[in-house]
Amino acid sequence: MKLASLVLGLGLSAAAVLVVPGSGATASMQSEVVVDKARPVANKYLQQKLTWRQCGDAELRTFCAKIAAPRDWSNQYAGHDIELAISKVTPKHGKPTRVVFGNPGGPGGAGLGMAPYLASQAPLAKDHLAVGFDPRGSGESTNVTCQGAPSYTMDARDRDAWNLELISQASQLAQPYCDRQSRGLLPYVTTAQTVQDMDLIRQLLGFDKIDFVGYSGGTWMGAYYQTYFPTHVGRFVLDSNTDFTDSWLTTFSAQPAAFERRFQQDFATWAAKYDDKLHLGMTSRQVVRNYEKLRAALKKQPAVEEFLEGTIRITYDQNTLDAMISGDMYTKLDFYSLALDLAFLRDLSQTQTKSGAQAAQRKVDALSPARQRELVRRAHRSPVGLSSLGNSLGDDYESATFTAITCNDTAWPQGRETADQLAARLGRQSPLIGWSMNENPCFYWDRPRLNLPQPTGAGLPTTLMVQSQNDPATSYSLATAAHQRYAGSRLLTITGEGDHGIYGGVNKCADKIVNTFLTTGKSPAADVSCRGEGIPAPSTPEPVGTEDESTGTATGSPLRRVAGFTAAISGYLP
């Protein structure tokens, strides 16, 4: 069977690729690219005038603009410019005295929604200019793309030689496909380039120092901005931390154990506590065993169902199941929805096994339109921040930017043997996502000749790091390792909590500490902790945390709210 005829995609990279053999696509990168220090800014970029226009509803008070930046900061006079989309919200009364930038992570997440999100935090709204931006490669800034390629359909747990070879070939095809599609920008989508974009925005806005709130992959960006521009650093909050003092490989290698801990210790324990209502298992071990049984059943006989009068088709197989569970580990507000979905899939699979596909479809047809829309929405929803999951739906600029940054920034060991050995080791220990560690183009990536300076924190003001103990996407071990090596940092630990993205409504104690730091500069004298507020009990008739993601105005997890704001204000710039 020809590789081109298979349905393939990329897991950890969150990018999907396909190259037709013989197409002539090349995997070579521009090895002469070197960006390892901040560059003075050419006058033509400093002298540009910003034209602000309202973006989104008037009640959001958000204005957006586009600016020009060099494609390559080390070669500003080459004539290859890109566009950067930025957003701002000014205080309701008076002029701002400080500016706070925000980034939702990814890396590569579109960030225009950070401005209205930060402005929605009452303490910041008084005197801060709130700023968001879409990083180069993503959102309404100049994009990179791997558009048009489908996702993996093979089972990552299958260790047969032919399956491992397909995974390897798919990963090798990623770079030539994405490079060709991205019109020469791919080698320049790096953190080193992005933080220089940030500092250009700072200068155009007229501030000497910036405050910063970065989530997830945004902690990496924040630490590197501090490293490149230490004299312009204000109050930096790094929430849900990568190990920004080490490599991307270190951060991603810690994910499988963290997801497994979150699934078994938090979700499965919670589901067992409410077994009388959820019926997923009376103990956490039973919940996990029932997941494994369902996974095996869906692998043997996937359920292909039509929703909303046949307008949308969803295939539920072992990969769909793993993606649902992993995606719902980021916030406890998704636990009830996940429990409902698991019960639905269990019943659907059992019906199909006993009575056939038509009986299973009738079970779907019997659902209310609202429930069907919810299932479709959740099947198409992307997780937030350092996703280990592929997403081939709609525009793929975020996943393509994710791949470019994580593969370009720091070196990865090269070759299939290393990738397969890592997946085997982590898969045996943490099967939920560990087996998919070899589904990553970085193991075959031809990096630009780039040497990033290691962030140390030396000579910087206090950096406030915020971390929950059971964070699935950025393990607590990463935060403690970075904290130990990052001079002047303070670590705020949320005990008994596992949400990814804390500041902005997850924990009142943490919000108070962060707001005090951002508004007064007063940081904890030493490391400090706040007690988690617990996982809500199942509620009816609506799942906990239901929100309108198109506006971002309802309560919900911070990163989902940011995504909602971004959706609400995007599309208003030419």
Q: Which residues contact 356 (CB under 8 A, 6 or more apart)?
A: none
pLDDT surpassing 90 at residue 572? yes
**Least confident residue range of 33-42, 317-326, 549-558:** 549-558
**Least confident residue range of 144-158, 192-206, 413-427:** 144-158
Q: Mean pLDDT, to the nearest integer, of 380-407? A: 73
Where in 169-326 does DSSP place strands (E)?
210-215, 233-239, 303-307, 312-316
Angle at which helix 161-181 crosses helix 397-408, to 10 degrees, equals 100
Find, among 16, 9, 106, the residue nearest to 383 by Cα.
106
Q: How far apart are CA 163 and CA 174, in angstroms?
A: 17
Q: Mean pLDDT, to the nearest integer, of 388-395? A: 43
Q: What is the model's pLDDT at position 555?
A: 55
pLDDT surpassing 60 at residue 212? yes
Q: How far apart are CA 262 and CA 499, in angstroms?
A: 9
pLDDT surpassing 70 at residue 16? no
Q: What is the model's pLDDT at position 194?
A: 98
Find, among 161, 110, 158, the residue nearest to 132 by Cα.
110
SS3 181: helix
Residues facing 492 on adjacent strands:
466, 528
**Residues 277-290: pLDDT tens digits?**
999 999 999 999 99
**Least confident residue range of 2-6, 382-386, 420-424:** 2-6
pLDDT surpassing 80 at residue 2? no
Q: Please tell me whether the overall predicted TM-score, pTM, comes out greater than 0.85 for this model.
A: yes
**Residues 458-484: pLDDT tens digits?**
999 999 999 999 999 999 999 999 999
Q: Are 48 and 83 in contact (CB under 8 A)?
A: no
pLDDT surpassing 50 at residue 28? no
Q: Please report, for residues 106, 266, 271, 327, 426, the alpha-carbon distance to residue 335 in angstroms, rounded to integers and kept in the order given.
A: 22, 9, 8, 10, 25
Q: How far apart are CA 61 and CA 464, in angstroms?
A: 29
DSSP-derived secondary structure letter, 486: S
Q: What is the model's pLDDT at position 210?
A: 98
**Residue recorded with tokens 């924190």:** 457
Residues shown for the chain: 574
- Reading the block at residue 86, the tokens are 């930025």
Q: Mean pLDDT, to the nearest integer, of 347-360? A: 97
Q: What is the model's pLDDT at position 544?
A: 44
Q: Which CATH superfamily is domain 1-574 in?
A: Alpha/Beta hydrolase fold, catalytic domain (3.40.50.1820)
Q: Are 75 and 102 in contact (CB under 8 A)?
A: no
The per-residue DSSP string of 342-381 comes to HHHHHHHHHHHHHH-HHHHHHHHHTS-HHHHHHHHHHHTP
Domain ranges of the chain: 1-574
Q: How far apart are CA 475 and CA 118, in angstroms?
A: 25
Residues facing 84 on adjacent strands:
67
Q: Are 139 and 111 in contact (CB under 8 A)?
A: yes
Q: What is the model's pLDDT at position 396?
A: 87
**Residue recorded with tokens 């990163």:** 559
Rg (CA), the chain: 23
